[in-house]
Amino acid sequence: VSENDIEENVMATRKKDIQETATEAAQAARDAASETLSAAREKFSEVASGVEDKVKQIREGAGRASAQVREGAERASTVAREKYAVARDNVRQGYDRVTKDLSHLSDDVSEYVRHNPGKSVAIAAGIGFVVGLLMRGGRRDA
């Protein structure tokens, strides 16, 4: 075996070793890249799922809040309508009562005046006279 053959064998062996090492390194790099990519995909999927859940929760919360607001507004509207109806009935009853009382009072006064015309006219004139006397404001006749 010549020295050249030995040298060629050594070179071939080294070359083979280098190729194997490079192949292993490349495979390791591919595996690492694949794992990283897979992990990134899983992470992205988790984040996307979480965001989707959050959006769903927010949408449901907004829907519930909207329903509650609508229900509250309807309840307030109903209460306001009832209060308005009660107030309107009270005002109407008060007006009717006052009108009836005034009508009765007018009838009573008219009846008394018809039975006592002189006394009634004298009382009215006397009241007017006193009021006029008091409303002179302290002015004295000369």
Partner 1 sequence: VSVPEHSVAADVIDELAAPDLEWVRLVRRYPIASLLLAAVGGFYLGRHKGSDVVDSVARFAAETLEEGVNELLGDQVL
Task: Mark residues 79-108: x for contact with partner 1 by CB under 8 A, - for none.
Answer: ---------------------------x--
Q: Which residue in the set 1, 5, 131, 138 belongs to the binding site for partner 1 (CB under 8 A)?
A: 131
Distances, alpha carbon 126 to alpha carbons 11, 13, 80, in Å = 149, 147, 52
DSSP string, 21-59: HHHHHHHHHHHHHHHHHHHHHHHHHHHHHHHHHHHHHHH
135: contact with partner 1 by CB under 8 A: yes
- Give me the least distance between CB of 112 and partner 1, in Å please: 8
132: contact with partner 1 by CB under 8 A: yes
138: contact with partner 1 by CB under 8 A: no
Interior/surface letters 21-52, b for 16+ CB within 10 angstroms, e for the rest: eeeeeeeeeeeeeeeeeeeeeeeeeeeeeeee
Q: Which residue in the set 1, 2, 4, 136 belongs to the binding site for partner 1 (CB under 8 A)?
A: 136
What part of residues 47-66 is at the interface with partner 1 (CB under 8 A)?
Answer: none
109: contact with partner 1 by CB under 8 A: yes
